[in-house]
Amino acid sequence: MTPRSNGIAPEECFAFIEVDELGPDPRPLLDDIDPSLVIARSASSPAGFSWFELGVKGHPIERQAAIAGTALRVLKDAADGGVLLDFRIIRGAHFLDMATPAADTTS
């Protein structure tokens, strides 16, 4: 199955993630990252899972990539800590290398 967007423009979509559909919603974990970060449930996902797309609006591309990387790092850390079940980055894992320190996410 291929992720399908749910309204985030292609040039603003940086990643798709997967979590267990019965597990916690990942969106609240990203509330404090940056106001330009958008996370929306994907238009499709396989049975038993929820797919989400991560987008970043209104910044130069380097800044968008850093915000996306920071969001993915927060989600990965939550999964490593047992908060998110069956977490997987479907598309966009390379943005993890562009994550900024938490103190830098609003500049």
**Which has the closest alpha carbon to 58: 101, 8, 94, 102?**
8
**Residue-level pLDDT at 103:** 38
Would residue 5 count as lying in a domain?
A: no
Q: What is the C-alpha separation between 75 and 85, in angstroms, rounded?
A: 11
Give the tens place of pLDDT for each residue, 63-92. Answer: 999 999 999 999 999 999 999 989 999 999
The predicted structure's pLDDT at residue 29? 95
31: amino acid identity, one letter: D
Within a domain: residue 1? no
Q: Could you list the residue range(s) of the whole structural domain that residue 63 is in? A: 10-100
107 domain-assigned: no
Question: What CATH number should be reported for the domain holding residue 62?
Answer: 3.30.70
In a domain, 65, yes or no: yes
Number of domains in the chain: 1
pLDDT single digits (tens) 34-56: 999 999 998 888 999 999 999 99
Residue 4 lies in a domain: no
- Greatest mean pLDDT among 7-11, 41-45, 56-60, 92-96 lies in 92-96
On whether residue 106 sits in a domain, the answer given is no
The pLDDT of residue 102 is 53
